[in-house]
Amino acid sequence: MISNRLFVGLGALLAVCAVGSSWWVGKAISGLREEVAAVRDELGTARSESQAQFSNLLGRVTQAARSAAPAAGGEEVAVDPFTGVDFKKVSDIQVRVDAMVGAWRSQNKTDIAQIDDLAGLLVEMDDWLFVPEEQPEANRIIAEEVNLLRRLIKSQVTKLSKAAIAAQDGKGAAKIMTQINQLLSLYPVPSTADDQAALEQITASILSTSRRVEEIRYLRYNQWAISQIEIGLKGYRKELAIGSVQDISKLMNRDREKLRSAAISAMSTIDTAYLTPAAMDLYNYAYTLYRDAMGSNDDSRAKLAKGFADPSVKRRTPADF
């Protein structure tokens, strides 16, 4: 597989050949420059063409660059613009892949670490130039490694998605979702319709998992909020409990300060914006009991309301769950 990045690398090489005057000798310098420049332009527009076309163009570049240029003494000088270029072979791919797999086994690397290694190797090989006769086989092997990377990422995303949903708290789930997003960033760019469909399926599953994780955090928050409301209700009943004849006086002389303190302590940290209808109904019920316990004393009612609107109180949100 010859990527756009590889074509850009070859274009840069040819550009050097076209402008480097020391590469050309004698009267043929202008003609050779024009020949290579023309072929270079064709290479730039042939990125999506077949392997046969690429090889043909590469051959023309090589032939043009190696054309003999008449020197002052009448001798011909062969010029090779690819001198010093490190052309790779299929065996170079196998050596690197074998070394990588060996490291996985010897170091007992995790699945995510293996994905990082393979992605890094593919990025490196994306800049390699292969000898023309081995290019088709190199393309085939690299395509297999690219598909392996896709499969590894898909498998790991599926595994991590289940872990995110089963996480004991929202922070743990968020950490796992971050790992999933990092894996998605390593997914190879689709080259076929099937590859595109597979990527869309993975992204859809990630979106579904993310929504489910948020739903779970939302429900955990409401469970906590309901528990806090229950504490508030118990505090209300405790302050107004009648266990003996002497306690009857509580109904006539309520300790509004204790009631207000019990309500604010239990319920003021709840952010009602995140409550479900059922939880909100219970919240209103508890608050109404406390408000009515203030009687007709406007000052006590105002203090109760201010306690619930105190900006210094740190309210919890689903992000905490």
pLDDT at 197: 94
pLDDT digits (tens, 9 = 90+) for 165-183: 999 998 899 999 999 999 9
Dist. CA 250–CA 230, nearest whole Å:
22
Average predicted confidence (pLDDT) for the chain: 79
pLDDT digits (tens, 9 = 90+) for 282-303: 999 999 999 998 888 899 999 9
> What 3-state DSSP class applies to 69?
strand
Question: Global pTM?
Answer: 0.66
pLDDT digits (tens, 9 = 90+) for 210-253: 999 999 999 999 999 999 999 999 999 888 765 554 555 555 55
Give yes or no for a contact between 23 and 5, defined as CB atoms under 8 angstroms apart. Answer: no
Is 280 a residue whose pLDDT tops 70?
yes
Dist. CA 217–CA 235, nearest whole Å:
27
pLDDT band, very low/low/confident/very high, at 188 (cuts 50, 70, 90): very high
Give yes or no for a contact between 64 and 137, defined as CB atoms under 8 angstroms apart. Answer: no
* CA-based nearest residue to 316, from 228, 209, 211: 228
Phi, then psi, of 155 in degrees rounded to 5? -65, -45
pLDDT at 53: 53
